[in-house]
Amino acid sequence: MIHVGALGGKPVRGPDGSVLTLADLPSPDTKRWVIRRKAIVAAAVRGGLITLDMACSRYSLHPEELVSWQYYIDRYGFPALRTTKVQCYVRPGQRRYG
């Protein structure tokens, strides 16, 4: 089954280019946020599969944290989502999320 995103009726694509469905999202009880899980949630929100509020509620995330994942993907690519690399991409005085 292909789930169509809310934005323009286009399918929502994941980080690997495959079509995302709600079943592809990480479990709501996810505690360990690896690059792939962060990228999937960021893509689902950006593509309209779920809203930012829904994702934050489902995963107990702060909206700024999720938005920062999207920023790091856009600016530096997927490797920037590694928590051990965040300090390489954060400017002095900027808040860190990850």
The domains of the chain, with CATH numbers, are 22-89 (1.10.10.10)
User: What Cα–Cα distance (Å) separates residue 36 from each residue in 7, 8, 17, 39, 94?
Assistant: 23, 25, 13, 5, 24
**Environment class of residue 74 by beta-carbon count within 10 Å: exposed (0-12), middle (13-18) or buried (19+)?**
exposed
Cut 0.85: pTM above it: no
List, for residues 20-72, the tens digit of each pLDDT value: 999 999 999 998 999 999 999 999 999 999 999 999 999 999 999 999 999 99
Q: Label residue 75 exposed, middle or buried (CB < 10 Å: 0-12, 13-18, 19+).
A: exposed
